[in-house]
Amino acid sequence: MVALESTIISHGMPYPRNLEVAKDVESIVRFAGAVPATIAIIDGVPRVGLTDADLMKLAKNQNANSIMKASTRDLSYACVRKLTGATTVASTMAIAHRVGISVFATGGIGGVHRGAEVTMDVSADLLELSRTSVTG
């Protein structure tokens, strides 16, 4: 199994290109002989492996605030509040590790994002990489 993050779907690209890329990446993983496991929080439930409807829900994030960008610190909040959250690399690694998936693929890891002085959007990806046993 190969864990795939979902923030790129909801926050990284416009619709419909985001949905096409998500499906293409899953196809590439299958072609290589592995099982893709795109990870997200859907209506408060962590999901490892998404349905077409789940992918569509993430892809049609018309308002950037309708789908939460869920890092590790946000997982409990998203679950308790029954929110839908696209997982960052950090939260994807944490969930994948929890269910026994040791390999993940991503388009890149985060850092300090533009506008962080206002949004405080600082990635937890590097910290999570230092403490979670996964192969990227």
pLDDT tens sequence for the chain (136 residues): 999 999 999 988 899 999 999 999 999 999 999 999 999 999 999 999 999 999 999 999 866 678 999 999 999 999 999 999 999 999 999 999 999 999 999 877 777 767 878 877 767 777 777 787 776 6
Domains of the chain: 2-131 (3.40.1790.10)
**What span, in angstroms and rounded, lies between the C-alpha atoms of 19 and 25?**
10
77 in helix, strand or coil? helix
Nearest one of 121, 110, 11 to 60, comparing CA atoms: 11
* Paired residues of 2 in beta bridges: 36
What does pTM read for this prediction?
Answer: 0.86
DSSP, res 49: S
Contact in structure between 4 and 89 (CB atoms under 8 Å): no
